[in-house]
Structure 1
Amino acid sequence: MHTVFNLLGDKEDNITYSLGWALAQSDNLVQALLAEFFKVDPGMTAAIGLQDSVRGAGRTDIEVKTDQVHLIIEAKRGWELEDPTKLKKYTKRFKTDEALTPALAVVAECSLEWARPRLPKDIGGVPVEYMSWRKVVRLVEETAAQSGSHAEKRLLRELHRYLKGVMTVQNVQSNLVYVVPLANWPPLVTDGPTFADIVVKHNRYFHPVGGGSSGWPTTPPNYLGFRFDGQLQQIRHVDRYEVHEHPWDVLIPGIGAEQGWEPSPHFFYKLGKPIIPDHDVKTGGLYGPGRHWAAIDLLLTSKTVRAARDRTQKRLEAVGEE
């Protein structure tokens, strides 16, 4: 269902602006959000800033100031977390009013368990907090239920529907990663790329459109995982895709005829930035051309792809999705 927020779009900046605009309209939402990040009384809302640029202090997504606290929110779509060097720039803004209690908050789609070890506890004494979009959605829903004004309820319910629609984390299956093997040798043509190079160096991937007994998906996944050299190497978000009859010729002109590949419908993906596990994720005995589905959080925290796959299946069975 479309909402007024859908008119803005579903890009990262659009989502950030939607949340910021709702905060500017709903003091109840502001108070609920601040209560998650501050142990002190957050005080009365004084100002909401959206995507404000200050020379030497970066461009913030959302700033919330009250008469007691100052919060800067960096909002990200997907599992990518903000670089601490960028967060450090923001701390300069807190020096303009040192009487206020400061905090930095990162919002992204990953779980708290994944994000917390990858973010600093503080930067120059300013606490760095984390909240998942799942938690934001729940906070908006709870605030809407408790709000007294009909206009505020309507606004927050629309924001709730919008965020649920654009945040893949709300669907247990939309955070599944389709893990595929890649050949790291030999090159496809003399002095040319390998299949692994197409992903790693060119941020592209393609596979047949599924159907029948092929085993390939009939709907493009949100995430692709790539394994070679005996382990999961990286995960990529699918930024966009198209259906193409011979995507290989786009990457390496003429290779289709050289290899004898017949044109057929393929999903041709443009991949986002790599998400690299911070520990070795071995295959766990999954070899050859096998392709598997696994939840992204389980892939990034399990010791093997097999373990992540099996734990994912149990999770899906528990919620009645197989």
Structure 2
Amino acid sequence: MDLSLLRSTLEELGQPRFRFDQIWKWTAGGAAGYHEMSNLPAALRDELTARVPFSTLSELRRASSSDGTDKLLLQTADGRPIETVLMRYKDGRRSICVSSQSGCPLTCTFCATGQMKFGRNLTAWEILDQALALRRLDALDHCVFMGMGEPMMNLDNVLEVCRRLPDLGITNRRTGISTVGWVPGIDKLTESDVPVRLAWSLHAPEDALRSEIMPVNERYSLDEVKAACDRFYERRRKMIFVEYVMLGGVNDSVAQAKQLADLLEPWRYKINLIPYNPTDSMYDSSSQGAMEAFRQTLEDEGYNATIRLIRGRDIDAACGQLAAKAANPKLKQRVGV
């Protein structure tokens, strides 16, 4: 919902200020439309239906995984495709993975989104409407900006959404913003008033390899990104999550685990090892044995290191797989559209 348009429309209609709060409370609580808002006059509900679209996005396709994950393919008013994901866990968590851009301009070689044509930054309301669409499916309590796009390149809109997420049940301390290492965005987040968590998509322990698999490293080196992350830690005193996708024979050796341990500090960084999910790229996933040896090496060096549980791989909803494939006519058969 475009909350700016909602507010201006209510003012134009001469409605009292509390109407905005009433409507937002219904929307954040999972209402399916204005027709459910029983404490609004019927004439106002009809007027809003005609003048303020309940969502800035339209749903093109929904896929459900055998593990309880749901993925939505959404489209903006100007035809930009977006994917967003709801992950359900056995411990009761309901976590959403939200996109900040349609496509991504940074072309990491292992990521399906990087293979898309970049569209544009999403507006705050297009980002928020992803969360609202998922809220209509289930109660929510965690959010990661780890979907399509680089959130730090669209940080003002991302932070605007973060300020609204607590109304959906997602507190700031349960919200994380992931970056491949966009230093200006990290510094801007550090100085912001929104106390969310920071996650760094690292994926290689030294510059030469990182530049090979992540071209952004040519712009912001490991030392530059780490310095920005350290500034975040010094200001916020919040441990930083490191995401490290495990690519078989590329970045998964015990020696590379020791390099990673030497690069970081265990009191500042928690390391999350991510099994590589197929994206039609040149890579294979690390073996379970290699991942466990890597994790154990980090643990021996004093780190809290875990191997991420895979969610939604069978519907191309796992980490690195979001590519809005149904928006590409050549790929419709593959996704069953």
TM-score range, shorter chain: under 0.3
Task: Pick the structure with more helix per residue.
Answer: 2
| Structure having greater relative contact order (Cα 8 Å, sep ≥ 6) | 2
Q: Calculate the TM-score normalised by the size of structure 2.
A: 0.26
Give the TM-score, by structure 1 length.
0.27
Larger strand fraction of residues: 1
Bigger Cα Rg: 1
